[in-house]
Amino acid sequence: MKVLLVAAVVVLIHGSYATLLIKGPTQLVLEGDRVTLECRYSDSELNISQVRFEVFSKYLQSWHQIYERSWCFYSMETELTADSLLLTIPHAGSYFQGPYRCVSEAENVTAPDNSSEPLAFKVHYLGDLSVTREGYTRYLGIPKDLKVQPRDDVVLKCSASSSEELSYFWHKKGSDWILPSSTLTLRKVSAEDEGEYTCRAQNVAVESLSKKRSVRITVLPEDASWYESSDGRLILMTSAAAVALLVFVLSVSVFLCRRAKQTKTSKGPIDDHSQKKPIYRGSSESLPSACGDKQPLV
């Protein structure tokens, strides 16, 4: 009798506090992959319909329920099966890494027994590769055909955002050398330095994540004008933009000054020159009365 009573108590505890489990991807996740998470009870007889997915916001430092929005391409989709709740991320990105958890809405279970252990997964990615020239703003970038003056110093640098550390390599087309660096330095360039240079960036954790960017360097003749180089064109473009901005500011200033002057010199509703001469007592002139007859002033 005692053995049966103990067994009944164990079953009751197991049924009331069955563990919530969350499962995620078992393989490497790359940006753009389709990812599915699964919530289920350790006891399959419990009602999974009372379970929801939550994601932790690092900015708000709190958990939030996940709602399905099928109209958005990057949204997350939920699906309820007989014994599990599925969450599908159709297009994985770094902002979908989690952590996630399963939470029960059952009234007889309270925190922390009503939620699973948190689950997070890594999304590996490699952003667009950019090439900049030392001494110039990175926002302007450099042209695909970089024209430089003879004996100029050319320093190019590769950069990209990535989930892991990157390895960089420079190579000149037609040559037999590879430079394992993110920076390519050419001092006192000459005609021999002309050619197509390619930078390649590779994610050290995922070899398949690799991108490259090519730049052609053209060394101008000795008698070339300064404005034929990429630097000269950039100076001309910047100067033209500055002149255009100055002309615009001056035009607006002249317009506002003229507008203010016109407002100051314009006549008001009363014209002093249109007033009649004053009438003094004892004068022979008279004012019209209300009835139209002229009455002398007393």
Q: Mean pLDDT throughout 192-198?
A: 94
What six digits make up the tokens of 176? Answer: 């037999």
Burial of 91-102, coded b for 16+ CB within 10 Å and e otherwise, reads ebeeebbbbbbb
Closest CA to 184 of 219, 217, 223, 210: 217
Place 261 in a pLDDT band, splitting at 50, 70 and 90: confident
Torsions phi, psi for 204 (to 5 deg):
-70, -25
pLDDT of residue 272: 52
Tell me the average pLDDT of the chain: 77
Place 29 in a pLDDT band, splitting at 50, 70 and 90: very high
Residue 235 has pLDDT above 70, yes or no: no
Measuring CA to CA, how many Å separate 9 from each of 4, 16, 19, 42, 44? 9, 11, 17, 18, 19
- Residue extents of the structural domains in the chain: 18-124, 130-222
Domain 18-124 has CATH 2.60.40.10: yes
CA–CA distance, 132 with 143 (Å, rounded to integer): 10
Judged by average pLDDT, the poorest of 16-30, 97-111, 259-273, 275-289 is: 275-289
**The domains spanning 18-124 and 130-222 adopt the same CATH topology:** yes
| CATH superfamily, with its number, for domain 130-222 | Immunoglobulins (2.60.40.10)
Q: How many CB atoms lie within 10 A of CB 199?
A: 26
Q: Mean pLDDT throughout 115-125?
A: 93
Judge contact between 101 and 42, C-beta under 8 A.
Answer: no
89 vs 46, higher pLDDT: 89
Residue 127 has pLDDT above 60, yes or no: yes
pLDDT of residue 298: 39
pLDDT of residue 46: 76
CA–CA distance, 161 with 182 (Å, rounded to integer): 13
pLDDT in tens, 138-190: 656 678 888 888 898 999 999 999 999 999 999 999 999 999 999 999 999 99
CA–CA distance, 217 with 193 (Å, rounded to integer): 8
Residue 211 has pLDDT above 80, yes or no: yes
As a whole-number percent, the residues of the chain with pLDDT over 70 amount to: 67
pTM over 0.85: no
As a whole-number percent, the residues of the chain with pLDDT over 90 amount to: 40
62 vs 18, higher pLDDT: 62
Closest CA to 86 of 19, 24, 17, 18: 24
Closest CA to 74 of 53, 55, 96, 56: 96
